[in-house]
């Protein structure tokens, strides 16, 4: 159930961040905006991911396939 809630909240907060970035870009440059949005995403999403991951289901084969697919 938590996965469903996080999946619904992610696009909402992403859109909210874009709106706030648009407002903030009037007085700043785009590189600062990209850095702040990335940092906030990391601060929020990594703890949520760690809290909801069952690490006992992760295997070495799964990690290798994951990194091969996204490399």
pLDDT digits (tens, 9 = 90+) for 29-46: 778 777 877 888 889 888
d(C-alpha 18, C-alpha 15), whole Å: 5
Instruction: State yes or no: pLDDT of 59 exceeds 90.
Output: yes
Residue 68: pLDDT band (50, 70, 90) is: very high
Mean predicted confidence (pLDDT) in 1-17? 85
The answer to whether 33 and 25 are in contact (CB under 8 A) is yes
The answer to whether 40 and 20 are in contact (CB under 8 A) is no
pLDDT score of 20: 78
Query: What is the full DSSP assignment across the chain?
Result: -HHHHHHHHHHHHHHHHHHHHHHHGGGS-HHHHHHHHHHHHHHHHHHHHHHH--GGG--HHHHHHHHHHT-
Instruction: State yes or no: pLDDT of 26 exceeds 80.
Output: no
């Amino acid at each position: 159930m938590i996965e469903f809630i996080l999946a619904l909240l992610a696009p909402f907060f992403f859109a909210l961040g874009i709106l706030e970035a648009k407002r903030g870009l009037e007085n700043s440059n785009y590189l600062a905006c990209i850095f702040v949005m990335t940092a906030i995403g990391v601060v929020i999403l990594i703890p949520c991911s760690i809290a909801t991951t069952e690490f006992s289901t992760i295997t070495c084969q799964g990690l290798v396939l994951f990194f091969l697919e996204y490399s």
